[in-house]
A = this chain, B = another copy of it.
Amino acid sequence: MITVLRYGHRPGRDKRVTTHCGLVARAFGADRFVLTTRDESVLRSLQDIVDRWGGPFEVAVEENWRQYLRGFRGTRVHLTMYGIPVDEAVKRIDPSQDLLVFVGAEKVPPEVYDVCELNVAVGNQPHSEIAALAIFLDRLFGGRELEREFRGKVRVEPMERGKKLINLEGSP
């Protein structure tokens, strides 16, 4: 079970970035996405995608993030450009344990670095928490997450040119 915890979301300003984080969590194989700040528009956008494109994928809010983080049983990974290289870190993750991936915004309290078992850097350059989450999950699953099938109402038929969307509802 893999949970992505999105910390430090500022409603309005971060709406799109946080929605992208949630969509990446789902598409790259996490099971749950937890916001530490309630934002109905983000929750609705993510739920709409789950309803249409399939799950299982849970979206939740935990406003007491400190208690949630401290009480989590399993491995807690904090994505930060200051951490150890992702390729080294994934080798240390015990796949039999539940995993929490802490994705921060600009300012993350120092205690997060101490509470988490691993502080993991996807490169040590400034870029994007969305990209860091995607690469982390991709390394964790060795790329196989992209082949996962979701059971939704629609699916894409990959093609060289143009778009093909298959509607699975009402089919025999």
Contact yes or no, A164 B87, CB < 8 A: no
Bound CA–CA A73/B122 (angstroms): 32
Complex Cα gap A113–B159 (Å): 10
* Size bracket, chain A contacts: 35 or more
Contact A124 B156 (CB under 8 A): yes
- Taken residue by residue from 111 to 144, chain A's Cβ proximity to chain B (1 for < 8 Å, 0 otherwise) reads as 0011000010111111110110111001000010
Q: Which of A12-33 contact B (CB under 8 A)?
A: 13-14, 16-17, 20-21, 23-24, 26-28
Q: Is the Cβ of B26 less than 8 Å from the Cβ of A83? A: no
User: Complex: how many Å from CA A67 to CA B81?
Assistant: 38
Given contacts A23-B127, A125-B156, 12 further A-B pairs with CB under 8 A are A17-B20, A24-B127, A24-B131, A82-B159, A82-B163, A85-B146, A87-B143, A114-B161, A121-B156, A123-B145, A130-B130, A130-B134
